[in-house]
Chains A and B, each alone.
Chain A
């Protein structure tokens, strides 16, 4: 509880003392860092344990707006990142404001090398090339990088059926993604090694763990671009 006031106070103190850019860069994070982080995590857990179903964060538990980040991306970063999780930023997100705030509130190192990242923040334009991200290894598949992919919406793309753990029969999902993503994912998914993804749009998020089997052939190519 006291952590928030310290954080917020420190943020404003830093903002005041630094006369230049920082004054406008640093913003408060979660209003209640303990419970808001917990709520964001539970939504993320639910999303990953039920792939293909959009979950939404309530506005009361999301952090104040940070330019360039969707509220759910921001909440996931604040809830999951800390000094132990090097973060890779796609060029879109590599802004002074995002760097300053995530470095300050999470304390996460921001790395330029994909291989060293435990989390990565991407937008839709990056998905044709997922090379370099750590996929874990057969003995420690959990050491893989987790991708947070921010999209304009979680709908509007080609409809695909998802199957696997967390899905009772099939979930029909139409994420607006480049076709290249699925081939990239397929080529890097060698269970138990693989990539886990959270797709984020606004205050909504959807999980795609490596265990999900995406079916391409069973569906008619309706609306296929």
Chain B
């Protein structure tokens, strides 16, 4: 929990001049930027882009990194989280990558960041209008698990033909008695495109709806990017008699005591003793330091 002691952005690092600013070449950035403008204009639609090879394997956030590289400027403050944590390998590596190639300030504090690249979580601290979220996405098409052909799914998106998504959710209900999809829970954006919100827990889905921040998504291997503009209606698919619900816990966070954040389960010993802690390390650390200040 070293975020507790780091309440301010780290000093601006030296940029490695051997690389172009933020690693990617300018023509690639322009191509991604044009794609992003179209993605914003057609909320939830997956724009194909010429994904480049990045100096790390697919699945480690190559899509998100290409978007971050295309939008990042010298004045930006970058935060990177992986499963809510600022101090995991993937988050630390990506933060260091941009500190080195772009010389930008980085931070672990959600309110201080102007760009937040994320894998699998949306911060608990509410976002504001001057922030851009960049999501790393493995499989961008929510229909892919049902229909493997890109030609078919593209037609389904074009024809607004999403009945099969409800069939998938219904099969959950028929098998388990409730909608068992817990992450990458499909959403409808602005009453048109069905979109994969990336593998965030469904707990985070409501944060997408009418958010003041711009949300950008990219899949490096599949070479697709898409966007949810600020203040856009994002609704999770559900049924009248099985409305969408988010996860709830009977426990509080063992560190900060929060009862309304997304909790990770920890197994403490061989007898299966459980403990629960916040998945968002910055949120947890801020609550701890606030609690100390109040005492």
Which A residues form the contact surface with B (CB < 8 A)?
1, 3, 33-35, 37-39, 41-42, 44-45, 48-50, 79-85, 118, 137-142, 144, 146, 164-168, 191-192, 194, 196, 209-211
Contact = CB atoms under 8 A, between A and B. Distances in A.
Q: Is the interface of A mostly helix, strand, loop or mixed?
A: loop
Contact of A165 (B30, B158, B231): B231
A34 B214 contact: no
Nearest to A51: B229
Q: Most chain-B CB neighbours within 10 Å: which of A38, A80, A85, A144?
A: A38
A80 B230 contact: no
Interface of B: 17, 20-21, 26-27, 29-31, 33-43, 45, 47-48, 70-74, 154-155, 157-159, 190, 192-193, 210, 212, 214, 227-233
Q: Most chain-A CB neighbours within 10 Å: which of B33, B192, B210, B212?
A: B33
Contact of A139 (B31, B73, B155): B155
Nearest to B27: A82
Contacts of B154: 139
21 contacts: A1-B21, A35-B74, A37-B26, A38-B73, A41-B33, A41-B71, A45-B214, A48-B40, A48-B229, A49-B230, A79-B33, A137-B158, A141-B42, A141-B45, A142-B47, A146-B37, A166-B232, A191-B42, A192-B158, A194-B41, A196-B38
- What are the nearest 10 A-B pairs in CB distance? A209-B41, A138-B158, A142-B38, A165-B232, A166-B229, A165-B229, A196-B41, A49-B229, A168-B231, A139-B158
A42 B37 CA distance: 10
Given A35-B73, A167-B231, A192 B26 contact: no
Contacts of A191: 42, 192
A166 B38 CA distance: 14
Contact of B30 (A35, A79, A209): A79
A138 B159 contact: yes
Contact of B21 (A34, A44, A192): A34
Given A82-B27, A165-B228, 7 more contacts: A37-B26, A41-B33, A42-B71, A83-B27, A146-B37, A192-B192, A210-B41
A42 B214 contact: no
A146 B41 CA distance: 10
Contact of A84 (B31, B157, B230, B231): B31
Contacts of A85: 34
Q: Most chain-B CB neighbours within 10 Å: which of A49, A82, A83, A210?
A: A49
